[in-house]
A and B are shown apart, each in its own frame.
Chain A
């Protein structure tokens, strides 16, 4: 059952198409990553979903929402850089956010304390937000997005601005949250998407380049692959350059650097034999030879490069 259905959503800014007619659906309870390089239109899409930006055309529907109902009541949103009133304490801001969402004062206080503890800033709840670090603001942002138990949690680059420790902590939190609600988050880091998500939507230049369940996409685009690296001495480089030019049938170079290459092959067994023989004959200084299957990263790079 699709919780959110987006139909030919388009946004035009003074002549440029930021988002070009994308359509997708998000199933209830799924965790979805909106992937894409910077400038692909991820933030614009998210801002339209949250109602901060009026779409030029297209429709956004939430399952179970009556016409004329406020979409915003169902959505919790954490912007890329959450902004707060510095003169409020963390707890005050959460209570404020909760009461704006229609919670009673008592409920709002209880829920705020619960969420402060949950995101790990319980002790800082009584301090002014102006003294918070970036990581603490991110956690407070997550808490305010969750305050009214939204059906859909939308996060815009939730971990990009954090240091490695903060990043790990927020990722762990998100891992817990995805079992409770439907999550849509944007990122340009493929690894984050692979770690958390059930589904991915890959955007490139305003269009949806690829979309579907992570395992499905991985399966559909899985190709045998070899990765070869050499020490990078002149003889090895020379050989590699020459060999890439006269690649035998069944090999296709996916990417190459002077010292190494990634090759998509037709049959792993023959390819392995051929390459090892070639390497031994030419006496190449190999540092790494990996035989396996294409990763999501190969697909991501391909999808982004093709459109």
Chain B
């Protein structure tokens, strides 16, 4: 356990020294704040765009606050995922290519600790950034529109954080399986996109699909609607399947690292 913290500290120090601790939260805050602000000023923006005929009347219904927050989540679901996958790309493949993984793994270090320490640092960074961004979205929504209740926000944040964590884990898995960091990023995002599209477009019920998580997070913001999914059981199933898939990905990643600690 002591060794695990040594590995984790090193990962966290790297995140600090490479300034990822600054740019990733900033990215999320910009994404999160821009959604309510842009929505609020949309009529003014359209009016000043200029090429409207004289006397045109624009009527945009004021959106519900939870709809604004859901808009922010959909921003995180696209660009936020990209940011997380980019920040985790090369986490393992880079160390394998440069030979530092071999330098560490000839020491009596468990392969599982090596992978999980990286994973924990990556996820902590992603979750902190997301919390900052979602907090910004919540603040601007409350000041420009109306407040959204604690309970809904926290529940949706937890569901979405799990989705982010799932994609971060996929990025780590692909990073240990593939040599190229770019291929690992692409693999993680493509898998996330396929799951997400499948969950929203295929006609049969998919309570096991982690791709539902972002949708569930958006739905759970709406206090007035019935509970998201088809009852709580379905949500728990998705959460359990996602957590199991993450554990399996970590195990596969540690196994692949044990078999090949360096590229040559």
Chain A residues with CB under 8 Å of chain B are 50-52, 54, 70, 72-73, 75, 77, 79, 81-85, 87-88, 96-97, 99-102, 144, 148
Binds A, one of B3-11, B144-152, B182-190, B212-220: B3-11
B232 CB → nearest A CB, Å: 44
Closest beta carbon of chain B to A186's beta carbon, Å: 15
| Interface contact A72-B108, CB-CB below 8 Å | yes
Residue contact B108 to A102, C-beta cutoff 8 Å:
yes
Task: Give A97 to B100 CA distance when docked, in angstroms.
Answer: 11
Seen from chain B, the residues whose Cβ lies within 8 Å of a Cβ on chain A are 2-3, 6-7, 10, 13-14, 17-18, 98-100, 102-109, 259, 261-262
Contact of B108 among A73, A88, A144 (CB under 8 A): A73
Is the pair A87, B14 in contact by a Cβ cutoff of 8 Å? yes
Whether the pair A101, B17 counts as a contact (CB closer than 8 A) is: no
Q: Which residues of B contact A82 (CB under 8 A)?
A: 99, 103
B109: which A residues are within 8 A, CB to CB?
72, 100
**By DSSP majority rule, is chain B's interface helix, strand, loop, or mixed?**
helix
B106 / chain A contacts, CB cutoff of 8 Å:
50-52, 72, 75, 77
- Chain B residues with CB under 8 A of A87: 14, 17-18
Q: How far is the CA of A303 from the CA of B99 in the complex (A)?
A: 33
Are B100 and A79 in contact, with the CB atoms below 8 A?
no
Whether B14 and A85, one on each chain, are in contact in the complex, defined by CB atoms closer than 8 angstroms, is yes
Please, which residue of chain B has its CB at the minimum distance from the CB of A72? B108
**Contact partners of B104 in chain A: CB under 8 A:** 100
Considering the chains assembled together, what is the distance between the CA atoms of A82 and B106 in angstroms? 12
Contacts of B10 in A (CB 8 A): 85, 96
- Since A54-B259, A79-B103 are in contact, a sample of 19 more A-B pairs with Cβ atoms closer than 8 Å, ordered by chain A residue number, is A51-B105, A52-B102, A70-B108, A72-B106, A72-B107, A72-B109, A75-B106, A82-B99, A85-B14, A85-B100, A87-B14, A87-B17, A88-B13, A96-B10, A97-B103, A100-B107, A100-B108, A101-B108, A148-B107
Instruction: Specify which of B18, B108, B262 lies most central, judged by the most chain A CB atoms within 10 Å of its CB.
Output: B108
Give the Cβ gap from B22 to chain A, nearest Cβ, in Å. Answer: 15
State whether A79 and B99 are in contact (beta carbons under 8 Å apart), knowing that A52-B106, A100-B7, A101-B108 are contacts in the complex.
yes
* 30 A-B pairs in the complex with CB atoms less than 8 angstroms apart: A51-B105, A52-B262, A70-B108, A72-B106, A72-B109, A75-B106, A79-B102, A82-B99, A83-B98, A83-B99, A83-B103, A84-B100, A84-B103, A85-B10, A85-B14, A87-B17, A87-B18, A88-B13, A96-B6, A96-B10, A99-B3, A99-B6, A100-B3, A100-B6, A100-B7, A100-B104, A100-B107, A100-B108, A101-B107, A102-B3
Question: Distance in Å from the Cβ of B1 to the closest Cβ of chain A?
Answer: 12
Residues from chain A with Cβ under 8 Å of B14 in the complex: 85, 87
Most buried by B among A87, A100, A148: A100
User: In whole angstroms, how far apart are the Cα atoms of A101 and B110 in the complex?
Assistant: 11
Q: Are B108 and A83 in contact (CB under 8 A)?
A: no
A73 partner residues in chain B, CB cutoff 8 A: 108
CA distance A148 to B7 in the complex (A): 17
Closest residue of chain B to A148 (Cβ to Cβ) is B107
Q: Which residue of B lies closest to A77 (CB)?
A: B106
Interfacial chain B residues near A79, Cβ < 8 Å: 99, 102-103
6 closest Cβ pairs, A-B complex: A83-B99, A73-B108, A99-B6, A72-B108, A77-B106, A100-B107
